[in-house]
Amino acid sequence: MPPGAAVRPAPAVPRALPRLAAARIAGIGIHLPETVRSTAETEQRLRSENRGLRLPTGLIRRMTGVESVHVKAAGEQASDLAAAAARRALAESPGAVDLVLFASASQDLVEPATSHIVAAKLGPELLGVGTPVMDVKNACNSVVNAVQVGEALIRSGQYRRVLVASGETPSVAVRWRVRDAAQFLRSFPGYTMSDGGAALVLEASDDPSVGIVDLDFHAVSRHWAIGTLPGGGSLRPRDEEATYFDMDGAALQAAFLELGPEPVLRFLARNGLDWGDVDLVAIHQVAAPFLPPVFERLGVPADRSVVTVTEHGNLASATLLLQLARARERGMIGPGSTALLIGLAGGISLGLVLVRM
């Protein structure tokens, strides 16, 4: 060192963040709007607004198995549904949270993040003061991806309690007036989509026997154009026609079937499990007739699932938490139970979350 040179202090050693054993589910909340629209009412409205549409009575129910969907109140937003579900999750697991993740295919605005609006509606009384927020968005896999983010941040030691809240409002994107039969078919999946909110509290735990055991994610992104809701993005920013669902339902089903059962079976195998070790298999549900073939290919016993799509429709990213809550209410799962969440989303993507309650 040259004479007279200033002596600089050694850089501080970064504080080692404690790595915790697990991130466990400490609370679950579900909020379903009271207004229910039957599939018969859906068909009646389609006929009244499209005099030339030849729609056989009962077609939607026969093809999808959906009998009814939930519809939000006028003026209600995705953040309202998420906040209502979050209040119920926090009632099960009271206390301030360190991070709010809004996880949904829906959103209130393009800017700012809807998580800010959820946090403002919940207030510091429930969340604590200055709680950071962010949105996690991946169509119907938004919640499972938010669980992935929250679990990783808890395991890294950055946070101890993370609130994941979803508010889905697909009813705003349903096309009621169709140009022709072809446009009706492209709009068809929207008629079975449902509004609702779901939330969970992830909490750090030093008990390795509980919590998120493992996660795995896959995507086949070449299929992104099969199903879209393009309005508001840079692709079609001010096109009113782009504010409605546009989906090729048959192609979307074929794309999911192309994934095959192997990713799920490999996931079980790497955790040393078979179906006899799993108490609940919660899978994203878009139509009841699709479920038996999927379960048959996977080898899932019929008594390990909860069918929600018939009564509640396709609740997008809120679907899996609804099944988890219903299974708990029915006594299918409880402390010590093992659940496998299988998320399927447009794009397309697959998300797997193994949970020990």
Instruction: Encode pLDDT of 69-79 as tens digits.
Output: 999 999 999 99
Distance CA 66, CA 193 (A): 9
pLDDT of amino acid 20: 55
What is the model's pLDDT at position 21? 62
Percent over 70 (pLDDT), the chain: 94
Over residues 261-281, the mean pLDDT reads: 97
Most confident of 14-23, 62-71, 201-210: 62-71
Taking the C-alpha atoms of residue 303 and residue 285, their distance in angstroms, rounded to an integer, is 16
Secondary structure of residue 59 in the 3-state scheme: helix
Total-model pTM: 0.92
pLDDT range class, residue 258, cuts 50, 70, 90: confident
Q: In the prediction, which pLDDT does 11 show? A: 40
Chain Cα centroid distance, residue 147: 10
Tell me, rounded to whole angstroms, the distance of Cα 158 from its chain centroid. Answer: 24
Domains observed in the chain? 22-205 (3.40.47.10), 211-356 (3.40.47.10)
Looking at residue 118, its pLDDT comes to 98
Task: Average the pLDDT over 86-105 and give the result.
Answer: 97
User: 89 is written with which tokens?
Assistant: 């999750």
pLDDT value for 343: 98
Helix, strand, coil share (%) of the chain residues, nearest 5: 40, 25, 40
pLDDT score recorded for residue 209: 85
